[in-house]
Amino acid sequence: MKKILLAYDGGEPARHALDTAAEFALKFGASISVVSVVPVHPGRAPVEPWDDSAVHAQELLEARSLLRQKGIEADLMEPAGDPARTIEHIAAEGGFDAIVLGSRGLSALGRALQGSVSEHVATHAEATVIIAR
């Protein structure tokens, strides 16, 4: 494991994912890139607070700070698109060995209505996927 992609959104599950990614990076001497995907909803302007690019930029700075406290320098990425597919695409194009992300713990109804990023990435990505809870 040499290249880790950490999906980070600032929530508690993402913080668990950050800790997990940092542990693996330190153990294996791997690099970490952090991605926070600005969701794009076709046909409408962003209206939800988490759709704002500035929010994602702040999340990335938070992740960088937390990783630096652990002695890890990370690359930061803030693409826009469908979060699950974008994470999957970045991992494949960037040659990442592992993807680490948190699970929001959605109910069956929540997964049906919103979709689960972690579930999609786990079932579609070519890299090893680690879901932190």
Global confidence as pTM = 0.85
What are the residues whose beta carbons fall under 8 Å from the beta carbon of 35, sequence distance 6 or more? Answer: 5, 6, 7, 8, 76, 77, 78, 79, 86, 87, 90
> Which pLDDT score, from 0 to 100, does residue 110 have?
37
Which H or E run includes 118? Answer: helix 117-124
> Which pLDDT score, from 0 to 100, does residue 117 have?
86
Give the span between the Cα atoms of 37 and 101, in whole angstroms. 12
- Residue 25 CB neighbours (<10 A): 24
Q: What is the mean pLDDT of residues 104-129?
A: 67
Please name the amino acid found at residue 40.
V
pLDDT in tens, 73-111: 999 999 988 889 999 999 999 999 999 999 864 434 333
Q: Could you give all domains of the chain from N- to C-terminal order, each with its CATH number? A: 15-80+101-112 (3.40.50.620)
